[in-house]
Amino acid sequence: SQVSGLRVIHPAPQGSRVYLPSNHTTLVVKLSSGVNATGRWLGDNHTFPFERSCPAAVALLTADCARETNDTWFAVVSLSGLREGVSTHVLITENAVSSQNITITVKVEEPIRGLRATPDPESRVLLNTRVSYIPVMEAGSDVTFRWTVDDKPSFTFYNVVFNVIYQSPAVYKLSLTASNHVSNFTVNYNVTVEMMNKMKNLTVLGVLPVLPQNSTVELTARVQVDSAVDAMFLWDFGDGVQETYLFKPPYNKSFLVPDPSVHEVVIEHNVSHVYQDPGEYALMVLVSNQFENLTHLTPVHVHSYLIDVKVEVEENVLVVNRLITFRANPLPSHYGVRYTWDFGDGSLLFTESQSTVTYSYPRRGVYNITVTANNTISSVETVECYQVFEEITGLRVSTEEAAELGASVTLNASVQTGDSITWVFDMGDGTVLRSQVPVVEHVYLKDVNCTVNVTAMNPVNSVSQTVSVRIFVLEVLKIEPTSCIPEHPDVQLTAYVTGNPDEYVFDWTFGDGSSNVTISGDPVVMHNFTRSGTFPLSLTLSSRFNKAHYFTSVCVEPEIVNVTLLPSKQFVRLGEESSFQVSAVPLYQYRYRWDFGNNESTRSSGTEVTYTYKNTGVFLVTVTVSNNVSFNNDTAFVEVQEPVGVAKIEYNGTSVLELNQIYLFSASMNGTKVSYCWDFGDGTTQPGQIAAHSYNTTGHYTISVMGRNDVSINETIIDVTVKRRLHGLTINASRTVVPLNGSVSFVATLVAGSAIRYSWILCDRCTPIQGSSTISYTFRSVGTFNVIVTAENKISSLQDSIYVYVLEQIEGLQVASSDLVEDIYFPTNKTLHLQAVVREGTNISYSWVVQRDGSVVQTFNGKTFSLSVLEAGNYTVSLKATNMLGCATANRTLEFVESIGLLKPYAFPNPVAINASVNISTTITSGTGITYVWYLEDGFSPVTSEPFIIHSFQSPGVIEVIIGAENKLDSTNATIYICVEEVIEGLSIGTAELD
């Protein structure tokens, strides 16, 4: 039989290639027919026989090892010397009858061996920590990797490196599969995910209370951490030196495990350090990793060996009861030193960590101060001697305030506190006396007023005080009184002298014929002058050293007993002259001073005087009568008034008054204290500057007002007319809703009164039109107009208004939208924007009604309407437009269509025989109003509204059938392949005759 149907059945071709493992490059091929055939590779003479069956091992792997006929043959062919990669080979099969060859593309791949993941997934993993796994193989080529968690397809990842963060503690199954075309290898791991144990118990050992300078300290830090995390130790010694060390897992058995059931280890790190300078340092140990950190702070005190200590005092002078600041300076460093002070006055020892201390001594003296400095590792001591002084306070100086020229002056000084005092006396005349005692004496050489300055000084302070000393010559300075004295018995005369009058003798001579009077130690004398006049007075003053004489004169006058003032008039017209007269008791040649009460200067005159006032008012006239020893006065009131002038009448009206309306009248007249009286001409009178009055009868009236005061009278008149007021103005219109260019008639009416004129305002900016009570107007523009009419007469005006609405008729109403397809179609579940459009019309309101099959689906008011429909179908949109002139309607039918979804085609049966009927159908996820187009064969494309079609194919082959679906909104298509095969007919079995 002829060789036919040569093909590779194992390994099964994948695409256009056959994949072979590098350790077994053997193929199994199959012949559909070809008795006694052999195979060989092109270019190789080695042949391979065809057998009746597959190798048993291969037969278990593929169904292609079944024999369809007795003329089906199998052969095992091998390829030797193949390397990894792609190669092409030609296999030739032949027998005595015919031959057949095929070209085979072979790719050799190394089988996968020794697959594992690193790091080991069986190791403990921390919660919320990113882990990166990398596959490792001993052998394998062209490998793809698949990672799966807990056998879940949703947790399957195709990557070489697998990065994962576990967010829940649990035990997870992690599968790693490595695949190529010749092998498949899977390893499984149990991944334990736990929460991290927090770092704790950080301790630092080896820190002594005090470290000597330049000595080595050995330090140890311990911390308890999770056994799966790093630990970085950072030592900061506080002196600018740092040291770090990193510990990484896994941690071996040398690390202490406090609790075997808890994944924790104790990590210990040791360091040594030398502090080169004394001071206090903050030793910080920071243990950290990427998740957390712990810090331990320890103070370190480094001290140096003391060699000396010195004492200093901030104050130049030490003073009793005043704080003194002592400072100790230890060498070489003051750090960590405590000081013990002994102030040498028997007080308790004082210990302090500060190098400065304050102390006050209660008493003056010389003291030995001892200070001891100790810094734990060493101690030094020193002694210093200091003197404490007392501050000078309470300086007092005493001396005579006055001394006669030639007498010795003694100064005594004293203090409350103070020692080691030097006294300085500056006597004020150029003499300065110094003394260790507080008493001096001094004689002044001339009469002078001196300021003596006494200063007490010691090393602490100096205090000064001044006193005044007057050195005088004996004399009489004056005798008082120096002015005239009244005719009274026992007049007192006083002499003023230099020095102390208690030490003098006074000899008085009065000059009025009386005897001399001598008095010792008293400068005052009493004397009785019996008459008026001027008398000579003399005084002789005597002291222990000198005499002084004084001469003067004394005048004696009577005292005024009574003064009487009489004006000629109490009320005076402005501008007229007034006269006044005064009398005084007893009679004497007095001085008279007149004050007329108008803030002018007073003036001197006799007992009678005249005066003319320039201003109105009440004036207090005062006359003062005086001599050298007494004065007296009297007063009288005078009122000056301005005469009444012509009245100015004002009122809240015109010359025409309204009947029964109250008017307020006021009058103003020049004049002082004017009183008013009104006469309204209708028998009514009223007093007062302001009067209210109403007339109850129309007519003409004369109104008069009379003004008067204490010096004059005047009258003023006016004429008025009383009329009735307008009342009840109304406006009426023939219509208030008017189409454009329509005319309206207006009529104004009054209930009472008659109008002189009417004024019409027919639009907002129109000029008022003067006219009668009726008017007509044609409105040429749309809008709302406030028509106003005003009626007036001389006493009143009234106004009324009415609104007129001028509108356009509604015409050309339409439902408009730019979103529709073919002006009618729109998708469901989307928003359709509709708008009302009119050709003419104003002040329009719109209402919308959407109906389906006679049922209302939705309503809305407004010019624009947003419509969203969920269900496909035909809908009627009704629009109604309304204004005050009428209404209009418009309807529009819309079809809402569901958008086309996804097509999924089917064919049954498939494969199908030639000329046999096949049912081609499709399903679609969404869409309405759909038509289907079936692209079959040879340009045959029927269109249906149903999602299926019955068809018979006339020729064999794989037929590509395209199914299109479309509606008014969109379209889509899908493809299905139908295998059309010929029916097997005329099968015959032939046999060959045997020889």
* Residue-wise DSSP of 464-497: EEEEEEEEE---EEEEE--S-EES-SSEEEEEEE
- The yes-or-no verdict on residue 413 having pLDDT over 80 is yes
| CATH superfamily label, 116-194 | Immunoglobulins (2.60.40.10)
**What is the rounded average pLDDT of the residues 262-269?**
94
pLDDT for the residue numbered 282: 95
Tokens at 949, concatenated: 């079609």
**In b/e form, how buried is each residue of 482-502, taking b as 16+ CB within 10 angstroms?**
eeebebeeebebebebbbebe
pLDDT for the residue numbered 54: 93
Matching CATH number, 730-802, of 2.60.40.10, 3.40.640.10, 3.40.1410.10, 3.40.50.1970: 2.60.40.10
Q: Residue holding tokens 């269109």?
A: 943
Number of residues that this document lists for the chain: 995
pLDDT for the residue numbered 13: 92
User: pLDDT for 711-737, tens place per residue?
Assistant: 889 999 999 988 878 888 899 999 988
pLDDT for the residue numbered 994: 45
* 336 Cβ contact list (under 8 Å, min separation 6): 210, 278, 280, 301, 302, 303, 375, 376
What distance in Å separates the CA atoms of residue 71 and residue 276, rounded to the nearest whole number? 103
pLDDT band at 404 (very low <50, low <70, confident <90, very high): confident
Identify whether the C-beta of residue 371 lies closer than 8 Å to the C-beta of residue 357.
no
DSSP states along 816-837 = E-SS-BTTTEEETTSEEEEEEE
Return the CATH fold of 814-897. Answer: Immunoglobulin-like (2.60.40)
What distance in Å separates the CA atoms of residue 804 and residue 775, rounded to the nearest whole number? 14
pLDDT for the residue numbered 17: 92
Mean of the per-residue pLDDT values of the chain: 90
DSSP H/E element including 57: helix 56-59
| Range(s) of the chain covered by CATH 2.60.40.10 | 116-194, 200-303, 308-388, 396-472, 476-557, 564-633, 648-723, 730-802, 814-897, 903-981
| CATH superfamily label, 903-981 | Immunoglobulins (2.60.40.10)
Matching CATH number, 308-388, of 1.10.10.10, 2.40.40.20, 2.60.40.10, 3.40.50.1000: 2.60.40.10
- pTM for the full predicted model: 0.36
**What is the rounded average pLDDT of the residues 276-300?**
94
* 215 Cβ contact list (under 8 Å, min separation 6): 274, 275
| CATH superfamily label, 564-633 | Immunoglobulins (2.60.40.10)
pLDDT band at 995 (very low <50, low <70, confident <90, very high): very low
User: pLDDT for 641-678, tens place per residue?
Assistant: 889 988 899 998 888 888 888 999 999 999 888 999 99
Q: Which of 383-397, 499-513, 720-734 has the highest mean pLDDT?
A: 383-397
How many Cα atoms are found within 13 Å in the side-chain-facing hemisphere of 148? 13
476-557: CATH class: mainly beta
Tokens at 562, concatenated: 């009574």
What distance in Å separates the CA atoms of residue 191 and residue 688, rounded to the nearest whole number? 117
User: pLDDT for 165-220, tens place per residue?
Assistant: 999 999 999 999 999 999 999 999 999 999 999 999 999 999 988 999 888 999 99
Tokens at 485, concatenated: 């004295």
pLDDT for the residue numbered 491: 87
Q: What is the CATH number of domain 648-723?
A: 2.60.40.10
User: pLDDT for 57-89, tens place per residue?
Assistant: 899 989 999 999 999 999 999 988 888 899 999
pLDDT band at 938 (very low <50, low <70, confident <90, very high): confident
The rounded percent of the chain whose pLDDT value lies above 90 is 61
Matching CATH number, 7-109, of 2.20.25, 3.30.70, 1.10.287, 2.60.40: 2.60.40
- The yes-or-no verdict on residue 992 having pLDDT over 70 is no
Tell me which of 488 and 767 has the higher pLDDT: 767
79 residue type, one letter: L
* 533 Cβ contact list (under 8 Å, min separation 6): 555, 556
* 300 Cβ contact list (under 8 Å, min separation 6): 207, 211, 217, 237, 238, 275, 280, 281, 282, 283
What distance in Å separates the CA atoms of residue 142 and residue 16, rounded to the nearest whole number? 17
Matching CATH number, 200-303, of 3.20.20.100, 2.60.40.10, 3.20.20.450, 3.40.50.2300: 2.60.40.10
pLDDT for the residue numbered 989: 60
User: pLDDT for 524-549, tens place per residue?
Assistant: 999 888 788 888 999 999 887 788 89
Tokens at 370, concatenated: 């001892």
pLDDT band at 278 (very low <50, low <70, confident <90, very high): very high
Tokens at 448, concatenated: 């002078």
**What is the rounded average pLDDT of the residues 958-969?**
91
| Cα–Cα distance list, 376 to 279, 518, 721 (Å) | 14, 96, 123
User: pLDDT for 866-903, tens place per residue?
Assistant: 999 999 999 999 999 999 888 999 999 999 999 999 99
pLDDT for the residue numbered 987: 62
pLDDT for the residue numbered 990: 54
Cis peptide, bond prior to residue 249, ω within 30 of zero = no
User: Residue 747: what are its φ and ψ, rounded to 5°?
Assistant: -130, 130
**What is the rounded average pLDDT of the residues 945-951?**
91
How many Cα atoms are found within 13 Å in the side-chain-facing hemisphere of 386? 28
Secondary structure (H, E, C), 660-715: CCCEEEEEECCCCCCEEEEECCCCCEEECCEEEECCCCCEEEEEEEEEECCCCEEE
**CATH architecture, domain defined by 396-472:** Sandwich (2.60)
C-alpha closest to that of 256 among 267, 245, 269, 270? 267
Q: 58: helix, coil or strand? A: helix
Q: 64: helix, coil or strand? A: helix
Q: 502: helix, coil or strand? A: helix
pLDDT for the residue numbered 632: 92
User: pLDDT for 758-789, tens place per residue?
Assistant: 999 988 788 898 989 899 988 888 888 899 99
